[in-house]
Amino acid sequence: MNKKISLIIAAVMLMLISATSQAKIMQDIIVDNVVAEPGNLFGIADGFSGVVGSITYNPSNLDPNGFGDISTAIDSDFFFEVTFGAFTFSSLDDVDPLGPLAFLADPTELLGGIDILEAFLESGGLSLEFGPGFVAGEDVNGIAFTGDISFGQAIPEPAMAALFLSALAMLRIRRRAQ
């Protein structure tokens, strides 16, 4: 019985490993020193500091030269999605023909995360501009904000946690069998 369960768990682990290799990474977008006009559609208040959204990206499309830059200009299959306030901008929306350009803090460590994001995202009359250390936005009414920006810790999709839990289950079964 334990052998059958071990084989099932091993099969699940193999599926999770293949899913994890294509996992997306998510990081919080953190702003500080915001200067915002009242009533902007992003809902960001003047003086606000904290998490305003997140960026999700596919790290499997990294530049093979190891410079740590990822971009839709380098690889059209590169996926990204930026949630900022109540709005979401996605590469699936074709928001920027030149694509965003992101630089990893450590190109050899995917979980090091994005350090710098350079992008101009525009969709439905809303625009966001990211540069080294700053973000600026403007809504359909021309009401704008600016602020300093940083990124939170990189977190992989839930497949990594499932892989870890299945490995623990496998160890538990082996321990019982002995």
pLDDT-wise least confident of 17-21, 22-26, 83-87, 169-173: 17-21
Neighbouring CB atoms inside 10 A of 62's CB total 21
Q: Are residues 118 and 66 in the same domain?
A: yes
- Grade residue 146 by pLDDT with cuts at 50, 70 and 90: very high
- Grade residue 85 by pLDDT with cuts at 50, 70 and 90: confident
Q: Are residues 143 and 112 in the same domain?
A: yes
pLDDT of residue 30: 93
Q: Are residues 58 and 135 in the same domain?
A: yes
Q: Are residues 129 and 65 in the same domain?
A: yes
Q: Are residues 89 and 18 in the same domain?
A: no
Q: Is the pLDDT of residue 16 over 70?
A: no
Q: Are residues 175 and 121 in the same domain?
A: no
CB proximity list for 178: less than 8 A, separation 6 or greater: none
Q: Are residues 10 and 82 in the same domain?
A: no
Give residue-wise pLDDT tens across range 95-136. 554 555 666 666 566 667 777 787 788 878 888 888 889 999
Residues of the domain holding 172: 1-22+160-178
Q: Are residues 81 and 150 in the same domain?
A: yes
**What is the 3-class SS of the chain, one letter each residue?**
CHHHHHHHHHHHHHHHHHHHHCCCEEEEEEEEEEEECCCCCCCCCCCCCEEEEEEEECHHHCCCCCCCEEECCCCCCCCEEEEECCEEEEHHHCCCCCCCEEEECCCCCHHHCEEEEEEEEEECCEEEEEECCEEEEECCCCCEEEEEEEECCCEECCHHHHHHHHHHHHHHHHHHHC
pLDDT of residue 15: 59
Q: Are residues 77 and 17 in the same domain?
A: no
Q: Are residues 7 and 93 in the same domain?
A: no
pLDDT of residue 20: 46
pLDDT of residue 126: 86
pLDDT of residue 117: 80
Q: Are residues 93 and 119 in the same domain?
A: yes
Q: Are residues 73 and 129 in the same domain?
A: yes
How many folded domains does the chain comprise?
A: 2
pLDDT of residue 169: 74
Sign of CA dihedral 93, 97, 103, 104: positive
Give residue-wise pLDDT tens across range 23-82. 678 889 999 999 999 988 888 899 999 999 998 877 666 555 555 556 555 566 667 788
